[in-house]
Structure 1
């Protein structure tokens, strides 16, 4: 069914998907789920995909779909990396994990900033964390972008 959609519709769908994922991240933040450093990294490619989609739609240039696919794949990869850090499959950045890089003074700081650890799952559904859901959805969007790039219409 998705293969029967025209290029403009596919670009709109992929762009709306990144808008929804980025909006969802901000909604979770609004409701008290502060993002960690890796969560923030995952937001940037969605922002890039939104810009790419807007430019592609306004200029009618479907060739930008390759860049949309790249942005979605990058954020999906970051989601997989973040999931691995959360599950302790591999080491994460020392700046946001319990493995080091945090000094006692920053943890005891009273300046209103809280350190959000990347290796802690703050929310999950059906056994998958936000990072895992972002990865799955982002790889799905990458497929939509790739279908768009490969269209001949």
Structure 2
């Protein structure tokens, strides 16, 4: 089970990165934020398999990291549903100020295009679950699996 927690934590950000190329999904800033906790969870789960005395604490840390990604995903879902705005500047759609010229607008744009956070990315057509929603479910399931692994066999 410990190796499963490690592999599943590793799989989440790797799959998200690959989905950019395979499915053409552009990540927004909140999407990128959801990936980092999985790297931490994987980094804690691997030593948990090798250090039995530290296992409960390492798996607790991995569970908390996965839950943190799920919380970011849930927050991202709220932004997608427009329940609240994202506090991240990179999540906003560029807006022209009143009286701003086209040249001024072009200079104010980011050098690389970013996807607004309030536009959901759907992996499976017809399934009303955005990538943020799927990450919320996945993160909670991984956190539960890591917590389950804390119990003695």
TM-score, with length taken from structure 1: 0.81
Q: CA RMSD in A?
A: 2.1
**In the alignment, does 2:45 pair up with 1:46?**
no
Quick check: which has more Rg, 1 or 2? Answer: 2
Equivalent residue of 1:70, what SS?
helix
Unaligned stretches of 5+ residues in structure 2 = 98-103
In structure 1, the residue matched to 2:137 is 136
In structure 2, the residue matched to 1:86 is 80
TM-score, with length taken from structure 2: 0.81
**Structure 1's 106 and 30: CA in aligned 2 closer, same or farther, altered over 3 A?**
farther
Distance in 2 (alpha carbons) for counterparts of 1:137 and 1:115:
25
In structure 1, the residue matched to 2:7 is 16
Distance in 2 (alpha carbons) for counterparts of 1:136 and 1:99:
31
Question: Which moved further from structure 2: 42-51 or 140-149?
Answer: 140-149
Distance in 2 (alpha carbons) for counterparts of 1:124 and 1:90:
23
How far the C-alpha of 1:106 sits from its partner, in A, is: 3.4
How far the C-alpha of 1:97 sits from its partner, in A, is: 2.2
Deviations 1:13-66 (A, max 9, x none): 222111221121011122332211101110000000010011112323312111
In structure 1, the residue matched to 2:47 is 55
